[in-house]
């Protein structure tokens, strides 16, 4: 017996075997049961979604002689399945699209069926018919003989005359879900006595893009490559697919503005036969998951990324950058259809994305990378020296969830305050900082960090430029409900933010940016490193102070409503008294 490809060998022979399209199957089954058969049907939808298969099943069902239709056992069912039934005629409109062929078809329509109850005409790719051929068919579709059923199938219904569509019952087929495709492939794998990893089946289902026929064709090709045990690596090798980890690394390269490395990686992918269109959409899916997770913190809503892959990408990219990259990639996708080699537009997209990344973001990414390397280094040292037991290690990992940046161990000088150069009397109390750290929560810090880059947009506004300039160079490093610690590289910036005369203005500005009121403390980076190290030591020893209401002693002891008058203002008060009002600049 001649070999049959999988999609032909496993073509569904009963309605119950069809993957997906439940809304269509249910409607047609009820129509057959109630003997309410229309004279013309129009099946529309993407390729490989079951249009021709269901057309044949409908032809079997209306000609089946058994109670449960189609039974796939009676003579009519068997002959239709083999394609030898005289009353079921399949026509390819791509090669029979002229008016003469249609007139010949119409001439035969008037003859009664020879074996079945209905004579069924299945016209595939009906949109390929000429306008003259459609017009010739129009009258027959409007008033066909009672024994004739037309089933028109097309992937492009917009090319069909409206007068034809209005005379048919229209069914719109949809792309199959990943799970529907995977479930069907598992049945095929089992019947073929093959072995295949679930990850490999999932990747094949994604490659099929909602088409069952494409999925079985891809599966067949992969099984020909490895018929012992098909793995996801086999599928990636055959189709030149870039692994999810490599795609994330590629995005991180773009964020570092390393154009040379990005183009080099692209060249390597092209040499391995990577489909640029597929790669573009895969990167968009990753960025989309980043945006969803950034806004929901709900991993169950994600399409591509697991927690393992989220940890690889989330610290490196903001929602704003993800949206920006998606815009560039979707713009490139629109142009792929117009060229033979889409990699040209993908290269341009790479250049554009690299140029969109701001230099300060590159420095931030370098800093994050260094800190993560330090984390790994310290964990290895701790493991080798057996410094702490398992419970302590767990506690330290929990600290990473609430405050930013693991650091080397420093000798902490037990200073109770950080002095400000602006005013020798202004002190930031260490206990206030520790109180925020004790109550710190990672999700609050992530929310603040996500919105922090927005501050730079306010530099161009005269009313907010002062506050924006004082805060934009800072980095939120810890946050709790209503409390925030901001790290600055230089001490003068710390002093300016902690100075009580600036507090009300900065507090109001942050409230506008973050959408919530925060009591904030600025700290110099070196001081932050020492403070955080001290916090970790206390955590290990179980000596952390109890959490209490947030206080800022360097602010709460000041009269924030006091107005310091200059010489001219004091003279005006002497002349005119309390009737004088001063407007802020």
**Closest C-alpha to 251, from 274, 219, 284, 220:** 284
pLDDT grade, residue 412 (50/70/90)?
A: very low
Higher-pLDDT residue of 399, 433: 433
pLDDT at 103: 84
**Tokens 């018919």 appear where?**
129
pLDDT confidence tier of residue 437, bands split at 50, 70 and 90: very high
Q: What is the pLDDT of residues 158-189, one digit of tens each?
A: 888 888 898 899 999 988 888 999 999 999 99
For residue 338, the Cα-to-chain-centroid distance in whole angstroms is 26
What is the arithmetic mean of pLDDT over 394-420? 44
**What is the Cα–Cα distance from 546 to 544, expressed in whole angstroms?**
7
Q: What is the pLDDT of residues 246-274, one digit of tens each?
A: 899 999 999 888 899 999 998 988 888 88
Structure tokens at 164: 């034809």
Looking at residue 583, what is its pLDDT? 62
The helix-helix angle for 178-191 and 212-225 (nearest 10°) equals 50
Tell me the mean pLDDT in the region 272-289: 89
Structure token pair of residue 250 = 């590629």
Instruction: Say what the pLDDT of residue 418 is.
Output: 39
What pLDDT sits at residue 562?
54
Average pLDDT over residues 288-310: 87
Q: Residues 6-172: name the CATH superfamily.
A: P-loop containing nucleotide triphosphate hydrolases (3.40.50.300)
Chain position carrying tokens 């990747």: 203
**Residues 6+ positions from 175 with CB-CB distance below 8 Å:** 45, 46, 49, 209, 210, 211
pLDDT at 387 over 60: no
pLDDT of residue 171: 93
Spatial distance between the Cα atoms of 392 and 374, rounded to a whole number of angstroms: 19
Per mean pLDDT, which of 33-47, 357-371, 382-396 is the most reliable?
Answer: 33-47
Residue 21 has pLDDT above 80, yes or no: yes
CATH number of the domain located at residue range(s) 178-239 in this protein:
1.10.8.60
Residue 240 backbone zone (phi > 0: left; psi -120 to 50: alpha; other: beta)? left
CA atoms within 13 Å, Cβ hemisphere of 106? 18
Q: According to the model, what pLDDT value does residue 105 have?
A: 84
Range 244-357 classified under CATH 1.20.272.10: yes
Q: Does the pLDDT of residue 31 top 60, yes or no?
A: yes
**Domain edges within the chain:** 6-172, 178-239, 244-357, 403-556
pLDDT in tens, 195-222: 899 989 988 988 888 889 889 999 999 9
Mean pLDDT along residues 535-561: 83
CATH architecture for segment(s) 403-556: 2-Layer Sandwich (3.30)
The pLDDT tens digits for 310-356 are 888 887 888 888 999 999 999 999 888 787 888 889 999 999 998 88
In angstroms, the CA 269 to CA 239 distance is 11
φ and ψ of 29, to 5 deg: -65, -40
Residues 6+ apart with CB under 8 A from 300: none
Mean pLDDT of 86-104: 83
Query: Residue 134 — pLDDT band, cuts 50, 70, 90?
Result: confident
pLDDT at 393 over 50: no
How many angstroms separate the CA atoms of 276 and 280, rounded?
A: 6
Instruction: Read off the pLDDT band of 1 (50, 70, 90).
Output: low
CB 120 within 8 A of CB 86: no
């Amino acid at each position: 017996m001649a070999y049959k490809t999988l999609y032909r060998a496993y073509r569904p022979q009963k309605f119950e075997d069809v993957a997906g399209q439940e809304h269509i199957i249910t409607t047609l089954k009820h129509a057959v049961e109630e003997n309410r058969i229309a004279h013309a049907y129009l099946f529309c939808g993407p390729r490989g979604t079951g249009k021709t298969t269901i057309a044949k099943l409908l032809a079997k069902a209306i000609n089946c002689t058994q109670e449960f239709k189609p039974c796939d056992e009676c003579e009519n069912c068997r002959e239709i399945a083999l394609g030898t039934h005289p009353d079921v005629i399949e026509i390819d409109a791509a090669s029979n699209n002229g008016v003469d062929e249609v007139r010949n078809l119409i001439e035969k329509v008037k003859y009664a069926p020879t074996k079945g109850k209905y004579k069924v005409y299945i016209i595939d790719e009906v949109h390929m018919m000429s306008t003259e051929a459609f017009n010739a068919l129009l009258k027959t579709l409007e008033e066909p003989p009672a024994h004739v059923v037309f089933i028109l199938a097309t992937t492009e219904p917009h090319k069909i005359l409206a007068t034809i569509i209005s005379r048919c019952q229209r069914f719109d087929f949809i792309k199959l879900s990943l799970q529907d495709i995977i479930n069907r492939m598992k049945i095929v794998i089992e019947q073929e006595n093959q072995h295949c990893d679930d990850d490999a089946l999932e990747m094949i289902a994604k490659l099929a893009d909602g088409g069952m026929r494409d999925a079985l064709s891809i599966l067949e090709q992969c099984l020909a490559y490895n018929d012992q045990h098909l793995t996801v690596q086999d599928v990636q090798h055959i189709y030149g697919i870039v692994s999810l980890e490599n795609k994330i690394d590629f995005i991180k390269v773009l964020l570092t503005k390393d154009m040379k490395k990005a183009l080099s990686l692209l060249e390597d992918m092209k040499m391995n036969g990577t489909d640029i269109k597929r790669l573009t959409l895969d990167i968009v899916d990753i960025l989309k998951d980043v945006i969803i997770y950034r806004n929901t913190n709900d991993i169950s809503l994600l399409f591509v990324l697991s927690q393992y892959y989220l940890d690889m990408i989330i610290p490196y990219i903001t929602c704003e950058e993800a949206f920006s990259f998606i815009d560039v990639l979707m713009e490139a996708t629109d142009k792929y259809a117009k060229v033979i080699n889409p990699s040209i537009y993908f290269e341009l997209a790479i250049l554009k994305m690299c140029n969109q990344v701001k230099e300060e973001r590159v420095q931030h990414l370098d800093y994050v990378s260094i800190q993560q390397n330090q984390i790994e280094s310290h964990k290895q040292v701790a493991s080798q020296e057996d410094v702490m037991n398992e419970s302590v290690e767990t506690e330290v990992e929990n600290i990473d969830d609430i405050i930013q940046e693991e650091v080397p161990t420093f000798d902490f000088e037990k200073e109770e305050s950080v002095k400000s150069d602006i005013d020798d009397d202004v002190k930031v109390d260490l206990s206030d900082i520790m109180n925020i750290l004790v109550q710190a929560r990672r999700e609050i810090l992530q929310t603040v960090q996500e919105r922090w880059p927005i501050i730079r947009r306010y530099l161009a506004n005269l009313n907010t430029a002062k506050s924006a300039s004082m805060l934009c160079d800072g980095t939120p490093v810890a946050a709790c409900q209503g409390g925030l610690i901001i790290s600055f590289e230089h001490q003068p910036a710390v002093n300016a933010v902690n100075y009580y005369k600036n507090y009300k203005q900065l507090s109001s500005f942050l409230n506008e940016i973050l959408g919530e009121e925060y009591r904030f403390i600025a700290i110099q980076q070196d001081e932050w490193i020492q403070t955080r190290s001290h916090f970790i030591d206390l955590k290990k020893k179980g000596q952390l102070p109890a959490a209490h209401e947030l206080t800022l002693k360097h602010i709460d002891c000041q009269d924030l409503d006091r107005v310091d008058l200059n010489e001219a203002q004091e003279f005006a008060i002497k002349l005119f008294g309390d009737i004088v009002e001063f407007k802020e600049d």
